[in-house]
């Protein structure tokens, strides 16, 4: 009875609307704020697309979930990728604009990645595998969290 009487007054509705508006206008989540690249990044999902290198036709698409053993360790100068808790590759890198530029040394291969999203809790990388196997080009979009 008290609440029905209280909210029958226009002033009570105005106060409720003001509180709701102030709550909605709070600061942005950390998820939306840009963040530095260095740190440990856990693979959440990986989407790969195999296309015919000559025609561009999609051959197969795969969506894979990451495991606790799949992650990146990024320092200020080195990019280390782990698969199954084993070092898959390590390379020095530079990060400018939206590109992580990397070269493996033996054999010399471009391992660069495009940063599609980088916040304090989410990293999305887009890249193409360096080798064409059986006339197929493989493109990957990997999502990481920390």
Q: What pTM does this model have?
A: 0.75
- Distance separating alpha carbons of residues 66 and 145, to the nearest angstrom: 10
> Does residue 18 surpass a pLDDT of 60?
no
* Structure confidence by residue, pLDDT tens digits, 103-131: 877 677 888 999 999 999 999 999 998 77
Mention the CATH class of domain 32-145. Answer: mainly beta
Above pLDDT 70, what percent of the chain? 78
pLDDT band at 39 (very low <50, low <70, confident <90, very high): very high
Task: Look up residue 89 and give its two tokens.
Answer: 């590759």
**Consecutive H or E run containing 110:** strand 108-110
* Structure confidence by residue, pLDDT tens digits, 52-94: 989 999 999 999 999 999 999 999 999 999 999 999 989 999 9
Helix (H, G, I), strand (E, B) or coil at 31: helix
């Amino acid at each position: 009875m008290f609440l029905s009487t209280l909210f029958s007054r226009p002033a009570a509705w105005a106060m409720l609307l003001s509180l709701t508006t102030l709550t909605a206008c709070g600061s942005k989540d950390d998820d939306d704020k840009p963040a530095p690249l260095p740190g440990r990044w856990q693979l959440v999902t990986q989407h790969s697309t195999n296309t015919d290198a000559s025609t561009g036709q999609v051959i197969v698409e795969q969506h894979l979930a990451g495991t606790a053993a799949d992650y990146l360790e990024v320092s200020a100068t080195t990019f280390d990728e782990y698969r199954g808790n084993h070092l898959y590759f390590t390379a020095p890198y530079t990060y400018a604009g939206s590109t992580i530029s990397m070269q493996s040394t033996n054999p010399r291969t471009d391992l660069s990645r495009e940063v599609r999203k980088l916040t304090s809790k989410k990293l999305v990388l887009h890249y193409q595998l360096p080798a064409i196997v059986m006339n197929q080009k493989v493109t990957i979009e990997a999502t990481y969290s920390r």
